[in-house]
Structure 1
Amino acid sequence: MKLDILAFGAHPDDVELGCGATLAKEIAAGKKVGIIDLTRGELGTRGTAETRDAESNEAANILGASIRINLAFADGFFVNDQKHQLEVIKIIRKYQPEIVMCNAITDRHIDHGKGSKLVSDACFLSGLIKIDTKFDADDMQWQDPWRPKQVYHYIQWQPIEPDFLVDVSGFMDKKEASVLAYKTQFYDPKSDAPETPISSKNFTDSIAYRAKDLGRLVGVDYAEGFTVERYPVVNSLFDLK
């Protein structure tokens, strides 16, 4: 199955928090979207790998993603090396996305920057014809090279200056529902689990008010921001809003 967009996250919930409304908007417009989690988030203070598995599947269903795959890299300890790059390359070549979205280039959690660089490097390497891969070891055919047209990085904990914004007005309800599918991770006044930076009510409220503030800057209700690796191009000045 060919996908239009493949969104990567170092942990389950990264994609929903970073670009959930954008994905929901593209899916509503008929685009096919897949989500790839690099780890199961097993080092997270709250919940377990098993609860994160169930929560991530529910979140994918809320957004309407075509596929969701977890590569089960080691949370906190995966590295950007040949072994991990090849696993990401296999995914890129299998689904042949036009656009890849991935973690912020730099952020509070060390896995976010690592995941960002790993996916970005794999996108480049995936286009090289002398790297041979098979999706499964017993596949009969080698995969064809494939390089996405664009790699975009969503914004996470740190308020990075975006290179462009997507108007996501009308899709924040889907984003918030997909985020809150991670019941073990976010604000729950009845929970006796240890508190974390993302389990406060302030953080849950920030999902909407950060998007609203970005929207304010460009005259829309809500927006999500992204940074780019290479300049986007338009055919006309009038394509820009």
Structure 2
Amino acid sequence: MRSVLAIGAHPDDIELGCGGTLAAHRAAGDRVTMLVVTGGQNGPGLVGGRRAEAEAAARSLDCGLVWGGLEDCAVTPDAATVAIIERAIREVEADVVYVHAPDDSHQDHRAVAAATLSAARHSRRILHYRSPSTTRFDPTVYVDISAHLDRKIDALACHHSQVEASAMVDPEVVAASARHFGAQARVRFAEAFMPARFVWDLAPPITLPHQASSLAEMVAA
């Protein structure tokens, strides 16, 4: 079982960027935590309900949720921000970290990406996801979310204030993006990532006793 930490600057960033992948992690039995660095106080729609929306979205994905407590549109990649992310990485003992792509027109996204690279400097798997405001994105890692696209869209629907005020969260747009990356990955639907670092663990899998017996029978035959 892996421990996964997904980091986003605002409520709904994580669901947009890697919600299907988080659903796939949970289906595989992995433990998943979402760190939302700000409360989205300056976003569109009814700002007062964004915390409840994020909590509902996390429940729909069966993920843990923690808050960074910083101010929307005022995030900087300083020592305080790095410390918030370091603490989350340490507390969940993250094996995999997902975060914004560094080239982004939103200053909070850039700041969170930069702070994460510092905080996760000892991590073996750091993957950048795409946001609607990402300006350059050249993915080389893909996750098949064909079985999980509906859960991603359901999680995004929890962010009512954003869905109503932004075309970027339109389910048709989300599905089209997943289909686009799926075509690149040669699957139906996918999410795409740029690895800052990705160590592929090729240790042999653990063989259970009944599997060993079956293997021995096949060899004998």
TM-score under structure 1 length normalisation? 0.78
Contact map agreement 2:16 2:169 (CA 8 A) in 1: no
> How do residues 111-190 of structure 1 correspond to structure 2 at under 5 angstroms?
111-124=108-121, 147-157=122-132, 158=134, 160-187=137-164
> Structure 1: any 5+ residue segments left out of the alignment?
125-146, 188-194, 237-241
For residues 6 and 167 of structure 1, the distance between their equivalents in structure 2, rounded to whole angstroms, comes to 19
Q: CA deviation at 1:202?
A: 8.1
Residue 61 (structure 1) aligns with: 59
Q: CA deviation at 1:218?
A: 2.7
For residues 41 and 201 of structure 1, the distance between their equivalents in structure 2, rounded to whole angstroms, comes to 16
Tell me the secondary structure at the aligned position of residue 46 of structure 1. coil
Contact map agreement 1:3 1:96 (CA 8 A) in 2: no
Tell me the secondary structure at the aligned position of residue 36 of structure 1. strand
Q: CA deviation at 1:203?
A: 4.2
Q: Deviations over 1:131-154 (max 9, x none)?
A: xxxxxxxxxxxxxxxx32211111
Residue 197 (structure 2) aligns with: 230
Tell me the secondary structure at the aligned position of residue 217 of structure 1. helix
Tell me the secondary structure at the aligned position of residue 185 of structure 1. helix
For residues 3 and 87 of structure 1, the distance between their equivalents in structure 2, rounded to whole angstroms, comes to 21
Q: CA deviation at 1:234?
A: 6.5
Contact map agreement 1:43 1:76 (CA 8 A) in 2: yes
Residue 39 (structure 2) aligns with: 40
Structure with a larger share of its residues in helix: 2
Residue 208 (structure 1) aligns with: 175
| Residue identity opposite 1:151 in structure 2 | I
For residues 168 and 87 of structure 2, the distance between their equivalents in structure 1, rounded to whole angstroms, comes to 39
Q: CA deviation at 1:81?
A: 1.1
- The yes-or-no answer on 1:87 pairing with 2:84 is yes
TM-score under structure 2 length normalisation? 0.85
Q: CA deviation at 1:170?
A: 1.0
Q: How many residues align?
A: 201
Q: CA deviation at 1:41?
A: 0.4
Contact map agreement 1:98 1:149 (CA 8 A) in 2: yes
Q: Deviations over 1:28-85 (max 9, x none)?
A: 110000000000000112121x3110000000010010x2011111111121111221
Q: CA deviation at 1:164?
A: 1.1
Contact map agreement 1:10 1:38 (CA 8 A) in 2: yes
Larger-gyration structure (1/2): 2
Q: Between the two proteins, what is the percent identity of the paired residues?
A: 29
Q: Check 1:37–1:202 CA distance in 2 against 1; reply closer, same or farther (3 A cut).
A: closer
When the two chains are superposed, the root-mean-square deviation of aligned CA atoms in Å is: 2.0
Structure with a larger share of its residues in strand: 2
